[in-house]
Structure 1
Amino acid sequence: MFKERSFKKISSWLVAIFMMLNIFMPMNTSAANNKEDSNVKTINIVTLNDYHGIVKESGKDVGISKFIESVNEFKKENPNTIVLGAGDLFQGTALSNLNYGAPINEMVKELGVIASAVGNHEFDWGVDRIAKWAEEGGYEWLASNIYDKKTGEPVAWAKPYKVVEVDGVNIGLIGLATPETAYKTKPSNIEGIEFRDPIKSAKEWTEKLKSGDIEEGKVDIVIALTHLGSIQDKNTKEITGEAAELAKANLGIDAIISGHTHMTVAGEVNKTPIVQAYKNGRAFGNLQIKYNLDDKKVSIKPEVIDLASQVKELKESEEGKKIVEKYEKASASKLNEVVGHTKKDLTHKRFEGPSLLGEWVCEVMAKTTKSQIAITNGGGLRRPIDKGDITVGILYELMPFDNTLVTMEVKGSDLKKLIENGIGNDKIGWVAISGLKVKYDLKQPFGDRIYDIKLSDGKKIDMNKYYTLVTNDFMAEGGDNFDFTNAKNKIDTNLPIRDALIKELKDVNTISVDRKNYLESGIKPQAKPQPKPQPKPEIKPSPKKVIYTVKSGDTLYRIGKKYKIDYKTIVKDNGIKNPNLIFIGQKIIINLN
């Protein structure tokens, strides 16, 4: 009896112990996992770029109220989230432009943006406006490569970097602007400002942040907050552009936030994540960061959260609705005014070729100033105009830059060069002209593609004669690398092109225009072979070398032409990887034989 009772007693104890193990082992395992999880911090960095002043919902543009709600919902689901801007936020629509970006700045404040890169369009209303936005919006501009020419120091209205602590992790943000700003905005807007090599600036500040050579001490993660462009191939997923070149420099940057090129980008270059969230608030970007406090390992996943495809289902923010209503009410009577009508769609796709819209705009420019020729950049026309009523609001969206008409006299040879710069230019798009008949062959080398140029009445352009011309003030000052330095009698009328279009529409009421084909593609006739000259004794010249310093508006082609050498020789002699990317102040060796 004793043995049996003893066995039962022991068995009862074993069952009890087993049950206790079953109960407590999962808790111990969970506790271990919780400890492990607590050492891995998850942080999200939400990004917005190239928002371009979108206030109201329209088509694929979700507008302020839905954009705010979408980002804030993401923040609620992901507590350790910060929001950053990547430039070109304010300028681009009538409601924003008429109020100098104020509605967008209110949106930025509502989103809780803590810092932003500086885009080229941030300069459209002057530097003072940039500083005011930051003060009123409660964030900081970051730009490590924008310098004051007088002091030789970074500009006072932006910081090179910012350190932000999120859940015990110190994140260093380095601001970088695109050097293209030097010719993508009016020179007068950036007077006294220098845009330095972003890679060199990034190297300097990455080293300081990672070594602790800053007031805040050593950081755990370095993010480049930039307005550098990037493009991702839809098939291969390969990423190219300025942001990709930064990643290839292998500086120790953990991730790059991109902008400028209005593309959807989410991938890696050289194991460095890059993100860009399309344009106009149709998406927002996110860098999901996992950081291990023990071994300091970091992994970052770039992603783009699409909003455009679900615009109708998105919820609205009450605060966002108030912002929209406030500025709609203030600007309604002006923007809704119908100033004319068009019987046809005025089409425009600046990277695809000459457009009907571009021709009409140039015709109005020439008519207004009584000039023989008009020329404007395709990038200055920001939307097509659909058949039907044309309102003031539509014209603000078409021409949001407040550009003015500038008249001058231009020599025939320079006129040819100007148009050559705007034909099939994949960086700036196609130029628009009127008053000329130009034939070109894109299969010919740059600088030699125009083979016939006449006035609209059929008279051949005399390369030594001067012609009256009108353009916009952006181009007149060298924007998009259009060179008007040799022009005579240059006069800024101070008349906004938008106002000239409004007057024309009010005068004629209804327009019905057809393509004039001022720019016409063709095949350049082959030159007749010249008789071969008798060979002369070869005289080998002594080699000469010139050190050239790159100036504003320079291109390798233009430098080569100045010294009468092929720009490809300059590329080879200097080991230049990207012929389209040179910087002001860069030293270039010119070998003259």
Structure 2
Amino acid sequence: MRRVRWLWHRMASAMRLLFPLLVAALACAPSPAKAAVPSQGRRLTIVAINDTHGALLEVAAPKWIASSTESEIGGADWFGGYLEAIRAEAKEHGGAVIVLDAGDAFQGTLISNRFQGRSVTDVYNALGVTAAALGNHEFDFGIPVLKERIAQARYPILAANVFLKGTRQRPDWLRPSTIVDAGGIRVGIIGLATVETPLTTNPALIAGIDFVEGGAVAAQEADLLRSRGATVVVISAHAGPGPPENEIQRIAEAVRGKVDAIASGHHHVSIGPPPLVVENVPIVQSGSKLQAFSVIELALDANGRVTSFAVNEGSLPRSGGPQAILHTYRGQPAQWRGRRIEPDARVAAILRSYDREVRALRETLVGETRVDLRKGSGNDLLGNLTSDALRSGAGGGLKAQFALQNAGGLRISEIPAGPITFGQIFDLYPFDNEQVVVSLRAIEVRNALEAVLHHGKGPMRVSGLRYSIDWEKFGAGSDPKGAPDGAIVVRMVDDGGRVLCETTSCGRHACQSTCAPGTYTVSVTDFLVSGGDGLTMLQGAPKRSRGILARDIVVAYVKEHRPLTMEVLGASQQPRWTQTGSARRVQMGE
């Protein structure tokens, strides 16, 4: 079945990313108790989701995984149906269920952004979410709106490692942890934000806040929760396993013997099979956009202490990996351990109410494409489209000689051939970032292209220029973050073939480059100008702006260039970037 193959591929891809971490973790960690569904004693079931990004509605499965019987996946109402089945099973066995969200719940879709996350919070309230971690994108609507969501939520949004800048004082609107009574089991829950927040969030939105390493803080918080009577302690962390930093492994090592399970997020990967266990602590992550969830089952002794655990036992499409929120499976209604899944009617009613307010806008036709628009290599058609739009001056925007579009700003991987709706452009470009045109020297443009590669978020999508990444020529692949300027992007030319910058030699700490004189106008977004994705060199650059949303410029460009073709998108030309060799893996979250 195509869907199963696709999900297995995604999980396999995630495990290739995680393999070095797994080897190291399992080599140094004590062997866990046998991981089987507890059959005796009390059981605490943890259901974990992460990186919902406002994806409350079911979505059509991409055409390469769809079949005649299985064409949708996800949906908060369907997730609610799975929760009903899991809770019913727990009740039969005298167990209890908690639901953890590992952050980045709000930002990303029209049904969420139009209401600044209020719709997501209403849905989470109806689902009975127990607690959530603070994700980096929870700040995207500003701290005043975040405070509103915290007040609205009937569950705590937690982060123990967030402090007022230069102090060890936490903001008065944010809690580090909580203790809940789950069917008589006292469960301590610690929330953690990622230390990458200053890089992955508009710095202007988090001024005055520090994000510190979570491990030591979580260990202290775990001791405090135990002293207050918690017999089980878990972490919900918006932090993931992306090497080389392995933030979630550092956290797990720091809380050894103090914490029983971790729900993680931020990297949008599906962990397992096999399960990830670090220092005898099971760690789960379930992709993104509410298309899957993970289950950790903890067996407890008479004192409420954990004696063994099981991770994603019996999940589909493959036991040991996250449970996909399938509506059908192999042509039959979806089930959870023999219980048929039906959408949660209360959640469905909430979704209908919000969807009525945005449906007309979401379905508004803005253009047409005759080719599938996908993210990918140097002829990334979604990247070409958005960077060309930013450079064009469409929709009243400013024209520029070049344009830079960060890959992390593009939030979906495909717009299929056919009509293009406003909702599709919104899903691609959900952030309310404004176009800004900066004046930069050629060497500064080159350094901006390298900055995202240093931080694992590249390659940058570009318009008006082409560039070459070479990890081998000057040995940059062995240490991407420490490579000197010019060691990674070794050549940059404009569309006419004129060399803008070329690296001639490199030493250990510096490179020699020949770069064109003068300055160039470069169209970017205010996120990048604020230093996002590590582009601090843009912060002091001369700039102009008309206050127009980059998304509106893309919509105008699509309208002006309908239908989009390979020629319009520049795919018939040379790739806009090429890459030689590979780097020691660097990955930032989303």
Classify the TM-score, shorter chain.
Answer: 0.7 to 0.9
| 1:412 aligned residue | 442
Tell me if 1:506 matches 2:564. no
| 1:521 aligned residue | 578
Matched AA of 2:373: L
Task: Give the Å deviation of 1:41.
Answer: 2.1
Matched AA of 2:470: D
2:457·2:587 contact (CA, 8 Å) conserved in 1?
A: no
Equivalence map 1:552-563=2 (5 Å): none
Tell me if 1:166 matches 2:182. yes
Equivalence map 1:265-344=2 (5 Å): 265=271, 266-294=275-303, 296-303=305-312, 305-311=322-328, 313=333, 314-344=341-371
* 2:252 counterpart (244, 247, 257): 247
Equivalence map 1:486-505=2 (5 Å): 487-505=540-558
Cα offsets for 1:13-54 (capped at 9, x unmatched): xxxxxxxxxxxxxxxxxxxxxxxx999321112111111111
Q: CA RMSD in A?
A: 2.8
Task: Give the Å deviation of 1:243.
Answer: 1.4
Tell me if 1:387 matches 2:414. no
Task: Give the Å deviation of 1:474.
Answer: 1.1
Task: Give the Å deviation of 1:497.
Answer: 1.0
Q: Distance in 1 between matches of 2:262 and 2:151?
A: 26
Q: Secondary structure at the match of 1:132?
A: helix
Equivalence map 1:129-528=2 (5 Å): 129-149=145-165, 152-210=168-226, 212=227, 217-230=228-241, 241-251=246-256, 252-265=258-271, 266-294=275-303, 296-303=305-312, 305-311=322-328, 313=333, 314-349=341-376, 355-368=380-393, 369-383=398-412, 384-423=414-453, 427-444=456-473, 445=476, 446=483, 447=485, 448-461=487-500, 462-485=515-538, 487-512=540-565, 513-515=569-571, 516-517=573-574, 519-521=576-578
**Percent of residue pairs identical:** 27
Cα offsets for 1:204-252 (capped at 9, x unmatched): 2123223x1xxxx2321221111110369xxxxxx99321222223532
Task: Give the Å deviation of 1:175.
Answer: 1.1
Matched AA of 2:106: F
Q: Distance in 2 between matches of 1:47 and 1:494?
A: 39
Matched AA of 1:374: A
* 2:139 counterpart (76, 99, 123): 123
Q: Secondary structure at the match of 1:511?
A: coil
Q: Secondary structure at the match of 1:157?
A: coil
Give the count of matched residue pairs: 480
Task: Give the Å deviation of 1:471.
Answer: 0.5
Equivalence map 1:61-140=2 (5 Å): 61-79=73-91, 80-140=96-156
Q: Distance in 1 between matches of 2:242 and 2:493?
A: 38
Cα offsets for 1:343-386 (capped at 9, x unmatched): 2112114xx55512212211111111211110010111112221
- CA gap of 1:324–1:377, structure 2 versus 1, over 3 A, is same
Task: Give the Å deviation of 1:164.
Answer: 1.4
Cα offsets for 1:265-300 (capped at 9, x unmatched): 233112111111221112222221111125945323
Matched AA of 1:225: S
Q: Distance in 2 between matches of 1:153 and 1:348?
A: 42
Q: Distance in 2 between matches of 1:85 and 1:167?
A: 20
Matched AA of 2:324: L
Q: Distance in 1 between matches of 2:260 and 2:579?
A: 49
1:354·1:430 contact (CA, 8 Å) conserved in 2?
A: no
- CA gap of 1:406–1:40, structure 2 versus 1, over 3 A, is same
Q: Distance in 2 between matches of 1:459 and 1:86?
A: 47
Task: Give the Å deviation of 1:458.
Answer: 2.6
Cα offsets for 1:71-118 (capped at 9, x unmatched): 122112213112121101121112222222222212101111121101
- CA gap of 1:316–1:245, structure 2 versus 1, over 3 A, is same
Matched AA of 1:108: Y
Cα offsets for 1:539-570 (capped at 9, x unmatched): xxxxxxxxxxxxxxxxxxxxxxxxxxxxx9xx
**TM-score, normalising length: structure 2:** 0.76
- CA gap of 1:419–1:38, structure 2 versus 1, over 3 A, is closer
Q: Distance in 1 between matches of 2:587 and 2:410?
A: 24
Matched AA of 1:157: W
Q: Distance in 2 between matches of 1:219 and 1:209?
A: 6
Q: Secondary structure at the match of 2:390?
A: helix
Q: Distance in 2 between matches of 1:378 and 1:151?
A: 34
Matched AA of 2:132: S
Q: Secondary structure at the match of 1:207?
A: helix
Matched AA of 2:86: F
Task: Give the Å deviation of 1:192.
Answer: 0.9
- CA gap of 1:137–1:456, structure 2 versus 1, over 3 A, is same
Q: Distance in 1 between matches of 2:548 and 2:385?
A: 18
**TM-score, normalising length: structure 1:** 0.75
Q: Return the index of the structure with the highest Cα Rg.
A: 1
| 1:41 aligned residue | 42
- CA gap of 1:278–1:508, structure 2 versus 1, over 3 A, is closer
| 1:14 aligned residue | none
Q: Distance in 1 between matches of 2:499 and 2:324?
A: 53
Q: Distance in 2 between matches of 1:496 and 1:360?
A: 16
Q: Distance in 2 between matches of 1:260 and 1:87?
A: 7
Q: Distance in 2 between matches of 1:113 and 1:411?
A: 50
2:384·2:570 contact (CA, 8 Å) conserved in 1?
A: no
Q: Distance in 1 between matches of 2:175 and 2:87?
A: 26
- CA gap of 1:311–1:208, structure 2 versus 1, over 3 A, is same
Task: Give the Å deviation of 1:484.
Answer: 2.7
1:408·1:487 contact (CA, 8 Å) conserved in 2?
A: no
- CA gap of 1:523–1:431, structure 2 versus 1, over 3 A, is closer
For structure 2, list consecutive stretches of 5 or more residues without a partner in the other structure: 1-37, 62-72, 313-320, 334-340, 477-482, 501-514
- CA gap of 1:488–1:476, structure 2 versus 1, over 3 A, is closer
1:228·1:242 contact (CA, 8 Å) conserved in 2?
A: yes
Q: Distance in 2 between matches of 1:295 and 1:92?
A: 39
Matched AA of 1:397: D
Q: Secondary structure at the match of 1:203?
A: helix
1:505·1:511 contact (CA, 8 Å) conserved in 2?
A: yes
- CA gap of 1:455–1:109, structure 2 versus 1, over 3 A, is same
Q: Distance in 2 between matches of 1:203 and 1:112?
A: 27
Task: Give the Å deviation of 1:468.
Answer: 0.7
Cα offsets for 1:54-75 (capped at 9, x unmatched): 1221134321221111112211
